[in-house]
Chains A and B, each alone.
Chain A
């Protein structure tokens, strides 16, 4: 007889796990599975791990080159940071408002109590100041509509426009969605924008009351947090952990083919249980969106007072008159994060984001830097002073996956926007991969 005729073991042991993609999602899944004893290999196509998180040094200051904060909602990222020994380094941003830069060139502080720019109190002074009395009264109508009205909206744009009107949608929510999610309002599904929003509307009876409830339930303090030294430290510590746990890490591993039984890297075939934690693998994603971040370190003394709080969101990228502000948002990094101010030693750190590969649009790096300086001065309303150093980084953000191959597990940005959603989902997928009986509690 042949060995192949041997019946397979009555209960076959767990297959090795192949995690395609070495970003945060892939590393979180790998860590969780390895803690439970599973054999895990992480396959990263590029030459570095971390995905949307990375660091760079600008004017001698080590900064996040990608995401620099995370939503505190759900607590998934904070829990991860705690498990990675970073719990004491979780920091809140300075208690300053963010500002909105309007198409007419004026700026107003964003409403204090809002979720994604949706105000909890439509007639509050800061809302009226931002969008005008007419638009604020239109938003007030939300309280009079039945709870179910527009509750089945697919996009956030549709939901907000129908319940609160165009003023709130275009004047408050769109700039935030563009700034935070790099998405247009009508492209962003409601449940992806905020998983609890639709339910809050139905339960509380109006969008404004739903928002108030969500804000009340949010943990005390800010809706976002950062990590002293950079959110990228999560990647450093994840790598320490997974190496420690015997996870095999491979860079330059471009997965060419994938199915439920394993993957192929060129001619090499690796069998195992596949977790997809990268865009454009296993199921087609739409084209990714590009975002260019320009970091400026300047010595402008007039910026020390944080004239626009933690930063500015731009209501419309370009005004009809073609005025010059091309940036979608500006973060006053050294005003937002005290730890950055400490190491910047009086210099100011600014970060502007642009849609697309802005170096292409601006022609060359020096043209983009010149534009960024002009934009920053316009958005902050004061001169910047001398530029000390600058950095440009273009990121590709994953587009949502349109379909997936059966039998594989999907995590990563293509499955949810933002670090909080990514970590939460990665932990949940890892949990599901364990057989119920042997899930370790660690």
Chain B
């Protein structure tokens, strides 16, 4: 199956946009910029809209998810929308009891810890993704020539939530399952890859022009463990997009030691966190791969001259890569002043 004829990449709406060109490895006059977690908690209009609505309900109400996705594009003039959702949305749609607790994150009713827990996981019914398709279609119709990036969590991060039962410091339970019961581990990661893969695919089919796979917790893994016990399953997510020719971005927080592995499983673009300067990331990737990143989110609250100097440094280092999409090195912190983000967009667009 290929992209539909009215997909924005096919009918020409987004195919020449700076973001898509940079993702394809072309150097653009003006560097595109967007922010991970630009939609959501840092925006007052988001907080007003969300008032009284549960997070996952908001994700699954198409009009609401679409509006939240569009808010930062309107406000900051960023070069891409990132679909507003949560990595556990497809898990919930597959029937697993999960809720998002304010200030904590996703919490499982019953953590998945044994072989029989994994056996009880059911596949995701494709029809359950209808609210996602509808939200993406609504958003893409509004975005016009601005591309929408589809969103999904990578199997390791997703599985870690399922095993730990919620956010955790170092994913110790998850990592010990990886060794104590590698078979159950593989089965669980395959399941996560399948739900995330179906989730991403539904977004692309409904009009997303690119995708990003988020692996928030890979920083706790050694290169060897990542390569042997995690990467094959992340590859399975990208495999779910086979036939759909959209650029694929792979971001892993703390993945600096295995950027090449993250790329080689099928990513076109590698997202880099704030710890690794982009020129070094480019060197590690052999100078062949478009990069995305990596303004340190901690500096968003720093005095303007300090932040501006940092942004310029990121731009200079990013200029060494074949192409560079400006972003943060992780998500926008909730307390961020939205005007700071708008100023970064202006700065990047002026500097080019």
List A residues at the B interface (Cβ < 8 Å): 1-4, 6-16, 34-39, 83, 241, 244-246, 271, 434, 437-442
Contact = CB atoms under 8 A, between A and B. Distances in A.
Interface residues of B, number: 51
B247 A38 contact: no
Q: Which 7 pairs show the lowest CB-CB distances between chains A and B?
A: A13-B266, A37-B232, A13-B238, A37-B233, A246-B190, A3-B9, A442-B182
B268 A10 contact: yes
Contacts of A245: 186-187, 190
A244 B235 contact: no
Interface string B214-252: 000000000000011101111110111111011110000
Contacts of A4: 2, 245
A14 B240 CA distance: 10
B45 interface: no
B12 interface: yes
B240 A3 contact: no
Contact of B183 (A10, A15, A241, A437): A241
A13 B239 contact: yes
Given A9-B267, A34-B186, 18 more contacts: A2-B10, A3-B15, A6-B24, A7-B25, A10-B268, A13-B235, A13-B238, A14-B235, A15-B242, A16-B242, A34-B190, A35-B182, A37-B189, A244-B115, A245-B186, A434-B232, A442-B182, A442-B183
Nearest to A36: B232
Contacts of A83: 183
A376 B9 CA distance: 73
B191 interface: yes
B198 to A, nearest CB: 11
Contacts of B238: 13
A241 to B, nearest CB: 7
Contacts of A7: 24-25
Interface stretch (B50-58, B257-265, B307-315): B257-265
- Tell me whether chain A's interface is mostly helix, strand or loop, or mixed: loop
15 contacts: A2-B15, A3-B3, A3-B7, A3-B10, A3-B245, A6-B15, A6-B247, A11-B263, A13-B241, A34-B186, A35-B183, A37-B235, A38-B239, A245-B187, A246-B190
Interface in B159-197: 182-183, 186-187, 189-191, 193-194
A438 B247 contact: no
A38 B242 contact: no
Nearest to A9: B268
B191 A246 contact: yes
Contacts of A15: 239, 242
Contact of A441 (B7, B191, B228, B240): B228
B264 A11 contact: yes
A394 to B, nearest CB: 36
B30 interface: no
Interface string B55-83: 00000000000000000000000000000
Contacts of A35: 182-183, 186
Contacts of A241: 183
B226 to A, nearest CB: 10
The residue in B242, B247, B267 that gathers the most chain A C-beta atoms within 10 A of its C-beta is B242
Contacts of B16: 1
A179 to B, nearest CB: 37
Nearest to A243: B119
B45 to A, nearest CB: 33
Contacts of A37: 186, 189-190, 193, 231-236
B114 interface: no
Contact of A39 (B187, B239, B243, B245): B239
A130 to B, nearest CB: 47
A438 B227 contact: yes
Contact of B119 (A9, A11, A244): A244
A230 B235 CA distance: 37
A38 B261 CA distance: 16
A442 B239 CA distance: 22
A241 B247 CA distance: 34
A264 to B, nearest CB: 16
B232 A438 contact: yes
Contact of A16 (B182, B189, B231, B239): B239
A12 B243 CA distance: 11
A173 B229 CA distance: 48
Contacts of B288: 10
Nearest to B155: A37
A441 B224 CA distance: 11
Contacts of B247: 6, 9
A2 B16 CA distance: 10
B289 interface: yes
B268 A440 contact: no
B118 interface: yes
Contact of A271 (B234, B243, B245): B243
Contacts of B191: 246
Contacts of B233: 37
A13 B243 CA distance: 11
Contacts of B119: 244
Contacts of B235: 13-14, 37, 438
Interface string B123-142: 10000000000000000000
A365 to B, nearest CB: 41
The residue in A10, A15, A37, A437 that gathers the most chain B C-beta atoms within 10 A of its C-beta is A37
A15 B265 CA distance: 11
Nearest to A5: B15
B193 A244 contact: no
A440 B228 CA distance: 5
A7 B323 CA distance: 15
A73 B176 CA distance: 35
Contacts of A8: 245
A437 B190 contact: no
A13 B193 CA distance: 13
B239 A437 contact: no
B187 A437 contact: no
A9 B24 CA distance: 9
A244 B243 CA distance: 26
B291 to A, nearest CB: 13
B261 A437 contact: yes
Contacts of A39: 194, 236, 239-240
B182 A11 contact: no
B264 A6 contact: no
B182 A9 contact: no
Nearest to A35: B186
Nearest to B194: A246
A201 to B, nearest CB: 41
Contacts of B118: 244
Contacts of B3: 3
Nearest to A34: B190
Contacts of A2: 10, 15
B266 A437 contact: no
B289 A10 contact: yes
A13 B231 CA distance: 11
Given A10-B289, A14-B239, A442 B24 contact: no
A13 B265 contact: yes
